[in-house]
């Protein structure tokens, strides 16, 4: 009989589900790291929230552990690489608290509009400052959504019920999905210029970090009110403080901060600023939902091997796994490549397999492509929930199986359709049936390993260019590990593509220097 440890306080329904399915469960909370290490070897599964730290030391002691389940989204308290090396599946419950987080954003929007916290403090201090607190209505105001995924779509629905106009910026929001949601699809600059209220509902990635930077805050409509219940780091907190002080931003409400717990902040005490201690998921209903979901997912895995919302493994049967593993590694790299190069503009994806790949279960290959593609925008995406997220954003996904024999004994191609109707594709194969290798990049034949930090350059094929880029990187102390070159034509003068493997990320000033080299058309830093 499998045995599960619930090591953090969790709704009792979780233990009830385990027992109802014949799984032995212990609820032992509040243990120190050493105390957890002393007992973890007795368990096949571990159910946690945010308090338990599943470190490498804990995993090393977990001799029987097969799965860790987080009741919630964030898994910062789990060493996922160490868990993967140990063969431990890590799961989360990414959709159990969506409504709760959306409602918290709406609550903060109301509080900002009517200055409720300050009015409460003033009134309870014995003052009656009725003329001081002049609020604004939400009706007919424009709400700008930065992120229109699961939580953002719920906020949009509630805002429309309040008779607000909703404008949304999201790289994956299709025109069709925008119509379905009843929102206007806009660029970020358009949103900043027209929104009376801005709410953020996007994960923190390299692309979204400081999306409300000092520069972008200056582009906002004077009198805007800003709400962030998503992730700390999406808003430049120092710039927000200055914008509040100047009156350009009329109010701001943060549930999340760059540093948490946020025991001090320059924003604290600022007029028209509201803060809450990361309460987005803190309702009794949300805690019940995530507890039920984590218990059901762990039970399913321990009893049948079914994998749901796993962050480090795909949905696979035991028989398929050995054959599909290298293909999924290849597919994820191809997806990450097109996602980093064209993610904002992709509207459709076709995953094509031929040769030996056409004889396999294509679903995990497709899921791996989507996971790689969408990981650019979401830090919780995995091979299980990536297809759901793609569908939610209106991304058209097709699978194509070719019986033909091509130049390679096995091939995976990812063909994308862009918002302007343009089509592009990348393709890869397996060397020795194990090693993923890129063989074609947007119509240019090129063999390359996709690994670590890389630099992608499109340039005019002309003598001296390779020397110039090598010198430019060398002067910036950026070491080139490998050099991959391809071109469209057989002679000089056409378009060439360059993929450089580099030992360290390229600093922004160096990227600009490369952009300004003669003949360069496009430069992009990549990471795999």
Q: Residue 418 is part of a domain; what is its CATH number?
A: 3.30.1330.90
**Same structural domain, 235 and 293:** no
pLDDT tens-place string over residues 490-525 = 666 688 899 999 999 988 898 999 989 998 999 999
- pLDDT exceeds cutoff 70 at 380: no
**Same structural domain, 367 and 446:** yes
Decide which of 450, 479, 512 is a domain's last residue.
450
Q: Which of 299, 277, 295, 298 is nearest to 287 (CA)?
A: 295
Q: Which of 70, 10, 23 is nearest to 299 (CA)?
A: 23
Query: Which is the catalytic residue, given 176, 215, 260, 435?
Result: 260
**Same structural domain, 65 and 162:** no
pLDDT tens-place string over residues 314-371 = 666 656 767 888 998 999 999 999 999 998 889 999 999 999 999 998 888 998 999 8
**Same structural domain, 31 and 139:** no
| Region for 233 from its dihedrals, namely left if φ exceeds 0, alpha if ψ lies in -120 to 50, beta otherwise | left
19 Cβ partners below 8 Å, 6+ apart?
25
Q: Is residue 484 annotated as a catalytic residue, yes or no?
A: no
- pLDDT at residue number 275: 97
- pLDDT at residue number 213: 97
Q: Is residue 278 annotated as a catalytic residue, yes or no?
A: yes
CB distance 346 to 337 below 8 Å: no
**Same structural domain, 258 and 379:** no
pTM value? 0.70
**Same structural domain, 465 and 338:** no
CATH of the domain at 492: 3.30.70.260
Q: What is the residue range of 495's domain? A: 452-528
CATH of the domain at 263: 3.40.50.720
Query: Which is the catalytic residue, given 225, 278, 375, 413?
Result: 278
**Same structural domain, 51 and 142:** no
DSSP state of 221: P
**Same structural domain, 378 and 400:** yes
**Same structural domain, 266 and 166:** yes
Q: Is residue 231 annotated as a catalytic residue, yes or no?
A: yes
**Same structural domain, 527 and 424:** no
**Same structural domain, 265 and 133:** yes
pLDDT interval class at 385 (50, 70, 90): low
d(CA 402, CA 416): 17
Number of domains in the chain: 4
d(CA 456, CA 117): 50
Average pLDDT over residues 20-35: 95
Phi–psi pair at 417, nearest 5 degrees:
-110, 130
85 Cβ partners below 8 Å, 6+ apart?
none
**Same structural domain, 109 and 90:** no
- pLDDT at residue number 455: 94
Query: Which is the catalytic residue, given 158, 231, 375, 484?
Result: 231
């Amino acid at each position: 009989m499998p045995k599960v440890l619930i090591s953090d306080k969790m709704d009792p329904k979780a233990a009830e589900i385990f027992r109802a399915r014949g799984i032995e469960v212990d609820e032992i909370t509040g243990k120190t790291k050493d105390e957890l290490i002393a007992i973890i070897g007795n368990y096949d599964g571990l159910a946690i929230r945010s308090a338990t730290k599943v470190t490498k030391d804990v995993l090393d002691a977990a001799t029987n552990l097969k799965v860790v389940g987080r009741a919630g989204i964030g898994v910062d308290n789990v060493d996922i690489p160490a868990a993967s090396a140990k063969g431990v599946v890590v799961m989360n419950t990414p959709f159990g608290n969506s409504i709760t987080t959306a409602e918290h954003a709406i609550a903060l929007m109301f509080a900002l509009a009517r200055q409720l916290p300050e009015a409460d403090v003033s009134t309870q201090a014995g003052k009656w400052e009725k003329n001081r607190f002049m609020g604004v209505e939400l009706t007919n105001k424009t709400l700008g959504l930065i992120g229109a995924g699961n939580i953002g779509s719920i906020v949009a629905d509630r805002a429309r019920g309040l008779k607000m106009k909703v404008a949304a910026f999201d790289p994956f929001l299709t025109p069709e999905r925008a119509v379905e949601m009843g929102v206007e699809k806009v660029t970020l600059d358009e949103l900043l210029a027209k929104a009376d209220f801005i709410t953020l509902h996007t994960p923190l990635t390299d692309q979204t970090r400081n999306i409300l930077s000092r520069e972008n805050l200056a582009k906002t409509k004077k009198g805007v009110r800003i709400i962030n219940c998503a992730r700390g780091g999406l808003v430049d907190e120092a710039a927000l403080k200055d914008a509040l002080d100047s009156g350009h931003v009329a109010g701001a409400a943060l549930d999340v901060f760059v540093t948490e717990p946020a025991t001090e902040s320059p924003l604290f005490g600022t007029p028209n600023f509201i803060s809450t201690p990361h309460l987005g998921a803190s309702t009794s209903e949300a805690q019940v939902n995530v507890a039920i979901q984590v218990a059901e997912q762990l039970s399913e895995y321990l009893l049948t091997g079914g994998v749901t919302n796993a962050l480090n493994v795909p949905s696979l049967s035991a028989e398929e796994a050995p054959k599909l593993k290298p293909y999924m590694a290849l597919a994820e790299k191809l997806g990450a490549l097109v996602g980093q190069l064209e993610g904002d503009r992709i509207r459709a994806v076709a995953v094509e397999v031929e040769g030996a790949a056409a004889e396999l279960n294509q679903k995990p290959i497709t899921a791996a492509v989507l996971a790689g593609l969408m990981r650019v925008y979401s830090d919780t995406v995995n091979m299980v929930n990536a297809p759901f997220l793609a569908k939610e954003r209106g991304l058209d996904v097709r699978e194509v199986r070719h019986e033909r024999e091509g130049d390679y004994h096995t091939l995976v191609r990812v063909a994308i359709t862009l918002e302007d109707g343009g089509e592009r594709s990348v393709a890869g194969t397996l060397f020795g049936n194990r090693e993923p290798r890129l063989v074609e990049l947007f119509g240019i034949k090129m063999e390359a390993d996709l690994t670590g930090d890389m630099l992608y350059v499109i340039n005019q094929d002309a003598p001296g260019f390779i020397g110039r880029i090598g010198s430019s990187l060398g002067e910036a102390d950026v070491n080139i590990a490998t050099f991959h070159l391809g071109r469209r034509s057989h002679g000089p003068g056409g378009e060439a593509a360059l993929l450089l493997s580099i030992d360290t990320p390229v600093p922004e000033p160096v990227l600009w220097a490369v952009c300004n080299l003669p003949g360069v058309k496009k430069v992009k830093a990549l990471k795999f």
